[in-house]
């Protein structure tokens, strides 16, 4: 197999027929790394060194113009362990995200503040209401739509509107809870829909928080709130900044790690 892969590298054959493994959608070459077939995208430029980038798409390689494919493969082999480990980690996270994807229909389930909400379409209502069963404690989000005729987009839009309203209320309460303990004053709250950023802070006291934080447990939301409020004292990530966070949340390192690995539903 190694010989076949090397022949493909030497000839520049497109990796469309790559065996099962890790396959970048724009792959043009493949190799075997730690026993795993890896089809990667290759970009040539007037750079002096080889660069590797691992993302949800797969492995992308940036190499100097004119560098032989055999030399690129040797560099890949030297980094084989790191590349395969990163590909596996990102692949596992992608699977968790796909498993958490919400099916927008009557009876769908979504995480909210550390518990699961079951969506119930209730045409008799005029607005979305959170209901908790007194006996079982089960939480149901009753949405003012008709089962059978409501489209997934309508259900998603109604739930998102309710979540945005809850986000402003809950985030405001948590900001007001931690700001005095940090000795800071926030002035404005904005809601974000960023794909990769949980929050941000400006020196003028403006805080932006991702409304999707409602999907995570309350202690993880608190970490993000404390993190952003701490920036009102130290506007960088220096040791002094982390000392401020540490004073409020001694377990902030574990919380940050949990937040990074929690699977947030796909929207």
201-235: pLDDT as tens digits: 999 999 999 999 999 999 999 999 999 999 999 99
Which residues have C-beta within 8 Å of that of residue 36, sequence separation ≥ 6?
Answer: 21, 22, 84, 87
Hey, where are the domains in the chain? 2-99, 109-261
- Please give the structure tokens belonging to residue 40: 């990667």
**Residues 6-20 pLDDT 10s:** 444 344 433 333 345
pLDDT, tens only, 116-129? 999 999 999 999 99
Lowest mean pLDDT, pick from 25-39, 72-86, 253-267: 253-267
State residue 99's pLDDT score: 59
Please state whether beta strands 36-45 and 22-23 pair in parallel, antiparallel, or not at all (unpaired). parallel
Residue 263 clears pLDDT 70, i.e. is over it: no
Q: Extract the tokens encoding 173.
A: 């309460």
Which range has the worst mean pLDDT, 36-40, 131-135, 153-157? 131-135
What average pLDDT does range 30-51 have in this prediction?
A: 93
pTM: 0.66
Structure token pair of residue 52: 């590797």
pLDDT at 52 over 50: yes
CATH architecture entry for 109-261: 2-Layer Sandwich (3.30)
pLDDT confidence of residue 243: 97
């Amino acid at each position: 197999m190694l010989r076949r892969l090397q022949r493909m590298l030497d000839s520049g054959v497109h990796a469309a027929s790559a065996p099962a493994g890790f396959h970048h959608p724009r792959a043009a070459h493949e190799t075997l790394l730690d026993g795993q077939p890896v089809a990667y995208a290759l970009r040539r430029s007037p750079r002096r060194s080889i660069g590797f980038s691992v993302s949800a798409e797969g492995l992308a390689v940036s190499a100097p113009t004119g560098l032989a494919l055999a030399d690129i493969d040797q560099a890949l082999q030297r980094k084989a362990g790191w590349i395969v480990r990163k590909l596996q980690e990102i692949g596992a996270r992608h699977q968790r995200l796909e498993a958490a994807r919400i099916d927008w229909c009557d009876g769908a389930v979504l995480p909210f503040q550390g518990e699961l909400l079951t969506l119930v379409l209730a045409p008799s209502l005029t607005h979305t209401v959170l209901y908790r069963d007194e006996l079982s404690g089960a939480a149901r989000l009753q949405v003012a739509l008709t089962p059978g005729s409501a489209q997934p987009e309508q259900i998603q839009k109604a739930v998102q509107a309710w979540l945005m309203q809850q986000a402003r209320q809950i985030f405001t309460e948590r900001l007001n809870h931690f700001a005095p303990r940090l000795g800071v004053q926030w002035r404005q709250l904005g809601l974000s829909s960023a794909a990769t950023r949980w929050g941000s802070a400006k020196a003028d006291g403006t805080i932006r928080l991702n409304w999707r934080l409602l999907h995570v447990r309350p202690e993880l939301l608190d970490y993000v709130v404390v993190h952003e409020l701490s920036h009102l004292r130290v506007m960088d990530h220096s040791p002094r900044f982390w000392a401020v966070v540490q004073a409020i949340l001694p377990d902030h390192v574990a919380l940050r790690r949990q937040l990074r690995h929690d699977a947030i539903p796909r929207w």
